[in-house]
Structures are given as C-alpha cells and as structure tokens.
Amino acid sequence: MVLRQKRILVTGGAGFLGTHLCQKLLEDGHEILCVDNFFTGSRRNIEHLLDNKRFELLRHDVTFPLFIEVDEIYNLACPASPVHYQFDPVQTTKTSVLGAINMLGLAKRLKIPILQTSTSEVYGDPTVHPQPESYWGHVNPNGIRSCYDEGKRCAETLFFDYHRQHKLKIKVARIFNTYGPFMRLDDGRVVSNFIRQALLGEDITIFGDGSQTRSFCYVTDLIDGLVRLMNTPAEVTGPINIGNPGEFSILELAETVLALTGSRSSIIRLPLPADDPKQRCPDIASAQKFLGWQPNIALEEGLKRTIPFFENLLRGGPQSTAELRIASPLAV
C-alpha cells in the first residue's frame, strides 16, 4: 500500500521509457497523467492502462504550456533515437529547451519536484572513460547529432538555473543505453535493429569495425533508478548517471543476438556515422551512493526478455509480455 498517493505527470508517457514508468508508478499506487504528442510514442503502448481509474491520457506537445495540478513531474518528452531526433532537428531542440522551460514553469507555479531525463549524449564522444558526472563532455555543437546532445545540455542548464534562482526541487538523471519491451521496430537503436534484423533473417549491419563500445541497461532497472532518484532528499539534485556499467563492443552485441535468436543472418559493415562516440560507459558511483541503486539484469538475460516482444510485433500480435503482467492487476 502506497504511503501517500500522488498525482504524477509523466511527459512522453506513451514512449518506450514512459510506458514502463507509468506502469511502475501505477503499481506503486499513484494517479498518473500521461502526456504525449505521439511523435515517437504510441497510444498502442499504453492501451493496457486506459481502463485503470488512476490513469489519464492527454495528447499535448510540451513545447506549449500546460496548465494542470499535479504533485510531481517526470519530464521524458523528447525523441531519443538518432533516426527520430534527426528527422526534425529544429523540433527536437525545441522539445528539449521549450519543453524544459514549460515544465519547469509548471513545477515552479505548483512548488513541486521535477525530474529531467537527460542523457549520456551530453558527454559526446568522451575523452574520459568511464564517464563520471563531473566530466563536462566532448560534444560537437553543430553536427547532425547536436540537436539532441546540445538540447539536452541546455535543458540541464535550465534545470540547475531554476534550482539556484527559484529554489526549485530538481532531479537530473543521465540515462545510458536502455533496451527492453516497448521499443519501436524502426527506432534505429542498435538493440532493436539487431533483434529485428536477426528475426527477419536480414544482414546485421554494424557501423565501422564494431569495436566501439556501449553499456546496455535493461529497462526495469532504469525505471527503478528514476523512481529512487525522485524519492531522494531535496539536496540530491544530480546529475546522476543511470545505466549498466557492463561494457560490450557492438560486435559482441551482434554475436549475442545471433546466438539467442538462432538466426543465420550475416554480419556486414557500413561506414561509421558522423560524431558516433567510440566509447560509452557510466560511472555509477553516485547512483550507488545516493540511490542505493545498481542494475541487476545482465545483458543476455535482458535480451531473452526482449526478443519475445519483437517476435510478437513481427507476427502482428499484441505488445504485451508476461513479464510486464499488463493484463490484470492495474485494471481496477
């Protein structure tokens, strides 16, 4: 039983992370207002929540002000994969910057805590490895990825200026690569790309020689970290890295996906995209210290939980998974 039921706003609530966060907060006994403009999010993602009396859906673009009454805000609104944030880069920057301004203004008016989902992309192509929160980054300010990287960096600036100037209660999480059910087939992320290609028997496309590394955090671990961060004392503002410090090369990921799917797909190599970071791995000492958090689900186990979701999608079946228990306990 939740100690105090809150009414919580989740922007980007019909996206990959937002769907899991809405579900987690409902399971914790809260009322949820899910806001999404459905640019990358999908109504289908949250259909299983619509009959819940404590869940409300509002179609809205956070680049416009929102006048509501809530107790907490999780700001997740922004396309997060290169395919989507590069489709309309001006709108991506506006979503990060104007969206932050509008949500911070709402939090200021209501005098409530607000959590910003920032990103490991603020570190750019890092010269420090693994990346601690104290590292300022190595970012191209005018490249094809800059709309996302710099938009998120500016949003962090706004959050900390609102905190210093207006005493606003803020939390900033820097999210590293995350994967799991409710990812889109066409989002262009490496995990979803490899699983889709393997299941369809297509060539697995690796950019460069595959030696570039990433860390992969299973989505339920990530969501647990976000909720823990929101519930820390006011003096814990972040930024705090949330991700899995286990580091894998892209080639290792491809080979693991092939083994788990039993696919006979071949691995082919394409030119490396501009500004693609060579290494990305979080230093999670702050998360361990302030949140008592660390990831529990290893990459192979997480992939075993994710692959059936994509198999269902490719068969045209429902998006639900047994692990999410989406059918029953929330429809009350």
pLDDT at residue 322 is higher than 70: no
Does some domain include residue 157? yes
Q: What is the mean pLDDT of the chain?
A: 91
- The structure tokens listed for 282 are 């979080």
> Any idea which residue has 């500016």 for tokens?
154
Q: How far apart are CA 65 and CA 68, in angstroms?
A: 10
Which residues are catalytic, by number? 148
pLDDT for residue 318: 57
Tell me how far CA of residue 323 lies from CA of 216, 220, 306, 309, in angstroms. 19, 10, 10, 10
pLDDT at residue 321 is higher than 70: no
Domain with 207 in it: what CATH number? 3.40.50.720
Higher-pLDDT residue of 55, 272: 55
Grade residue 275 by pLDDT with cuts at 50, 70 and 90.
low
For 162-189, how does the pLDDT look when each residue is reduced to its tens digit (9 = 90+)? 999 999 999 999 999 999 999 988 888 8
Taking each continuous run of H as one helix and of E as one strand, the counts in the chain are 9, 13
Window from 49-53, 56-60, 147-151 with minimum mean pLDDT? 147-151
Does some domain include residue 329? no
Helix axes 146-166, 89-110, angle to 10 degrees: 20
pLDDT at residue 81 is higher than 80: no
For 23-55, how does the pLDDT look when each residue is reduced to its tens digit (9 = 90+)? 999 999 999 999 999 988 889 999 999 999 999
Q: How far apart are CA 332 and CA 49, in angstroms?
A: 10
For 210-245, how does the pLDDT look when each residue is reduced to its tens digit (9 = 90+)? 888 899 999 999 999 999 999 999 999 999 999 999
pLDDT for residue 266: 93
Residue type, 18: G
pLDDT for residue 330: 33
Q: How far apart are CA 147 and CA 97, in angstroms?
A: 10
Whether the predicted model's global pTM rises above the 0.75 cut: yes
Q: What pairing do the DSSP bridges indicate for beta strands 7-11 and 72-75? A: parallel
Can you give the residue range of the structural domain that contains 255? 7-324
pLDDT for residue 80: 75
Does some domain include residue 147? yes
Q: How far apart are CA 32 and CA 5, in angstroms?
A: 10
Average pLDDT over residues 158-162: 98
Q: How many CB atoms lie within 10 A of CB 221?
A: 19
Type and span of the H or E element at 179 = strand 178-179
Does some domain include residue 331? no
pLDDT for residue 3: 65
Grade residue 204 by pLDDT with cuts at 50, 70 and 90.
very high
What total number of domains does the chain contain? Answer: 1
Q: How far apart are CA 204 and CA 214, in angstroms?
A: 17
Beta bridge partners of 74: 10, 115
Contact between 50 and 330 (Cβ < 8 Å) = no
Does some domain include residue 1? no
Higher-pLDDT residue of 94, 3: 94
Beta bridge partners of 267: 204
For 110-130, how does the pLDDT look when each residue is reduced to its tens digit (9 = 90+)? 999 999 999 999 999 889 989
Residue type, 211: S
Grade residue 82 by pLDDT with cuts at 50, 70 and 90.
confident
Scanning the chain, the segments in alpha helix (DSSP H) are 16-27, 82-85, 89-110, 146-166, 190-200, 219-230, 250-261, 285-286, 299-314
Does some domain include residue 258? yes
pLDDT for residue 4: 84
Does some domain include residue 99? yes
Q: How far apart are CA 273 and CA 264, in angstroms?
A: 26
Higher-pLDDT residue of 89, 323: 89
Does some domain include residue 332? no
